[in-house]
Each structure stands twice: as C-alpha cells, then as structure tokens.
Amino acid sequence: MQELYTQSATYSSSLEVSKVLRNTYALLAMTIGFSAITATISMAINFPHLGLISLLPYIGLLFAVEKTKNSGWGIVWVFALTGWLGLTLGPILNYYVGVSGIEPILMALGGTALIFFGLSGYVLVTRKDLSFLTGFIMTGFIVAFVAMLAAYFLNISGLSLAVSCMFLVLSSLLIMWQTSNIIHGGETNYISATVTLYVSLYNIFTILLSFLGGSSDD
C-alpha cells in the first residue's frame, strides 16, 4: 500500500513538473514574440536610448510581477515587463544596424538560441540538481551590478568588458539553475520561471550583440 502511494505521489509530481515546464516555455515564447513587436515599433519611431533611467520602470515592473505572480494579473505584468524591455531594445538595435548592418543582430540571435537550447537541453537530459549554485549566482549578480555602475559612472572601458563577461556567464548559469529548479520541484510558478529565463536571454543577446557589433565595427 505504501509503495502504491509513493508511486502515485511520484507520478503526480512528474505531472506537475511537466506542466510548469510546458507553461514556462509557452509563456516565454509568447513574451519573446511580444517584445520583438515592441522592439520593432521602437525602432520605427526612433525611441530614445534612456540609459540607466530605463532601470526604474524595469524594477517597478519586476516588483509588480512578483506581487501578482499567483494571479491572472501576473501574466499582464509579465507582458508589460517584456514589452518594456523590447521597447528599450529598439534604440540599441537601431545603433548596430546603422553601424554594422543586420548581420551582428542575426548572429547574436542565433548565438542566444544555441546557448539557451544547449544549456536547457543539457540540464533536462542529465537532470542535474544545480541548487548549490544559488548563493554563487545571487552574489555574482550583486557584484556584477555594482561593477556595472562603477564602469558607467567612471567610464572605464576595461571594466565594462569584464562586467559584460560576468553577466554573460551568470545569465548562462541562471538558465541552467532555473531549468534544474523546475525539474526538481523547487520552482512551481511558471510566471517567475518565465521572467528569470527571459531576463537571462535578454542579457545574453545584448552582450553577444555588443561583442559582435563591436568586432564588426572594428
């Protein structure tokens, strides 16, 4: 009897994990498509580059998502967040199109897709538990954010490159960590999972674009 109960609980847990994964990937695909639309609009209207000011709405929208992630409003705020990030991406894309053409953008998109599917696929196949990375990733992002502010205000080009590399590595680790967290039952909210993956992909894409666009410019 106990064995049957254990098997039933395991089956139910497996179904829940599959549901969270399915909902996460579906919402992620929709938000990427939506932000592509807002980025296109942003490029068409020559939306200005806001710099660090764009972080204020971003932080506010992140807070709204977190507060409503267990309700239908959470999905509304997720689209608002990803739409805003797409809008702020427009000026960056316009810059690189003007400097290097569309090739670096396509290469950055391809590289981002390869990184995402490669890392997610690795975790899904091996089913590794990466919960031990939690503290390292959180500390790394705090250090990287502080270093980013220092590089911005002190205008240190070498530090900016180091910060970009830090964010690239940390965002890649975050994709693996979040995927692992889902399949091991640590993350049961697909809205939170979607935001984590989306922001990681956004970081990776913009960093790859800066590398590829810069090398094309050179």
The structure tokens listed for 16 are 């829940």
Q: How high is the pLDDT of residue 9?
A: 43
Q: Cβ distance 80 to 64 under 8 Å?
A: yes
pLDDT of 66 strictly over 50: yes
Report residue 90's pLDDT band, with 50, 70 and 90 as the boundaries.
very high
The whole-angstrom separation of Cα 75 and Cα 69 is: 7
pTM for this prediction = 0.89
141-166 pLDDT, tens digit each: 999 989 988 887 887 777 888 999 99
The whole-angstrom separation of Cα 91 and Cα 81 is: 17
Report residue 215's pLDDT band, with 50, 70 and 90 as the boundaries.
low
DSSP 134-177: HHHHHHHHHHHHHHHHHHHHHT-HHHHHHHHHHHHHHHHHHHHH
193-208 pLDDT, tens digit each: 999 999 999 999 999 9
With a CB cutoff of 8 Å and minimum separation 6, the contacts of 160 are 148, 151, 152
Q: How high is the pLDDT of residue 67?
A: 95
Coil, helix or strand for 181? helix
Report residue 16's pLDDT band, with 50, 70 and 90 as the boundaries.
confident
Domain locations in the chain? 2-217
pLDDT of 4 strictly over 50: no
The whole-angstrom separation of Cα 173 and Cα 152 is: 24
The whole-angstrom separation of Cα 174 and Cα 163 is: 16
Q: How high is the pLDDT of residue 156?
A: 73
Give the DSSP H or E segment for 3: helix 2-44
Q: How high is the pLDDT of residue 112?
A: 97
The structure tokens listed for 73 are 């409003």
101-143 pLDDT, tens digit each: 899 999 999 999 999 999 999 999 999 999 999 999 999 999 9
> What is the DSSP code (8-state) at residue 50?
-
**Percent residues over pLDDT 70 in the chain:** 91
pLDDT of 185 strictly over 70: yes
